[in-house]
Each structure stands twice: as structure tokens, then as C-alpha cells.
Amino acid sequence: MSTPDKFIIDVRKTARDNDIRVKFTTKTMVYAKDDIMGCTGYFDEDEMTLCVSNKNNKKTFLSNLVHESSHMDQFLHDKYLWEKCNPGYNIFFEWLEGSTIVKREILEEAVQDIIRIELDAERRALKKIIQYKLDSILDVDKYTRGINAYIYGYLFALETRRWTPQIYFHPEVISTCSARLKISYNKIPQRLHRVFLRHFSSQ
């Protein structure tokens, strides 16, 4: 049995043992309940569902699954982190949509909570990539650069009040980012910020 197959089987078993539904789809975008922006995968604690898109693209599919299954692991094994940080998503995205007024300090705290939960998920994901030898398919260097682009993207969205994921996955943005995870994410590096701005202005 190939290691990617073993990884998928283990994810399905963890989900099944905890009454979590798993959905794999070939759709480019998926939508969690009440989500109008769409994404490439999600774990929904209310619906008890793990959903991942792009099943036909092995790299994209595994990259999404290793990340979203790590959110499932957080929900199952780190209740404190999950319950403390998860509400930050609602605060942040409702503010992005303009449906609520939020004090700046609360908004900044919400973003840092999101960063904490995303960074923890990505650390778990990187361990899985090594454990299941998924690095034969996924480029760990590129994956880690993508993590940094994605996390700094929250700080950039805090600045622009727009969520623009097509920017955060742009090849120039990825190549500009570090291949190492940071301890904290409080400020976008100047060079990366310039690249963000250049691509943001072209949208």
C-alpha cells in the first residue's frame, strides 16, 4: 500500500471513529455552511464534516487534505486551542463582509487567534507529510513557503479589508516567502509586503 493511500485510510478511520463525515470532491471550490467566499477544503465542527476539493489533482488534493485533517485533529485533541481561537474566524470574516462593526483591538486579537490555529494546523500537517512520506509528492520547501504566504495574507487582509487568496498563492509571492515557519506573525516583511501590494493593485 502506498503511503498516500495509508494516509487517506487513516484520515477516514479517524473521522469514522468520531462520527465525522468525509467528503472528497472534484469541484475547484467548496462551501461550508453560511460560507459565501468558498475555499478548497474545510472542517466544520457543527456539521461534523471534513470536505476537501480537487480530488483529480493529487498534489492539490493531498495538500488540502493534510491541512484540513489537521483542523479535525485540533478539534478532537486540543479543545482548548480550538475553542479559544476558532471564534476568530467569524469575527474576522463578518468584518470583511461589512456585516459587523468591530473594535480594532478585538479584530487584531481575532486575527492573531486565526494565525495561532492555522500555524498549529500547519505544524501538524508538516509532521504528517514526513510521517507518511508525502514529501515524495509534496514539495516541503514550497509547501512551507505557501504556509507563510497564507498566514501573512491574514495580516494583509486586515490592512486592505479584502480577502484575495489568488494573491497569496501567486508564484512570486510563494518564492518571496521564507521556507521556515516563524515563531510569531505580527508584521509582514517589507519585501513580501511590496509583492502583496503589486499584485493587489492589479486585481
Q: pLDDT digit string (tens) for 168-198?
A: 889 999 999 999 999 999 999 999 999 999 9
Contacts 24+ apart (CB under 8 A), 180-183: 180/144, 181/119, 181/122, 181/123, 181/144, 181/147, 181/148, 182/148
CA dihedral 26, 127, 130, 192 (to 10 degrees): 70
Does residue 191 belong to any structural domain of this protein? Answer: yes
Helices (H), 18-139: 58-77, 79-85, 87-96, 104-131
Does residue 193 belong to any structural domain of this protein? Answer: yes
Amino acid at 31: Y
Q: What residues have CB less than 8 Å from 39, skipping those under 6 apart?
A: 29, 30, 31, 32
Burial class (CB within 10 angstroms; exposed 0-12, middle 13-18, buried 19+) of 134: buried
Does residue 45 belong to any structural domain of this protein? Answer: no
User: What range does the domain containing 148 cover?
Assistant: 140-203
Mind listing the pLDDT tens digit for each residue in 113-137? 999 999 999 999 999 999 999 999 9
Domain count across the chain: 1
Does residue 43 belong to any structural domain of this protein? Answer: no
DSSP H or E run through 44: strand 41-44
Does residue 145 belong to any structural domain of this protein? Answer: yes
Does residue 121 belong to any structural domain of this protein? Answer: no
Length of the chain, in residues: 203
Does residue 105 belong to any structural domain of this protein? Answer: no
Mind listing the pLDDT tens digit for each residue in 61-93? 999 999 999 999 999 999 999 999 999 999 999
Does residue 197 belong to any structural domain of this protein? Answer: yes
Mind listing the pLDDT tens digit for each residue in 8-29? 999 999 999 999 999 998 888 7
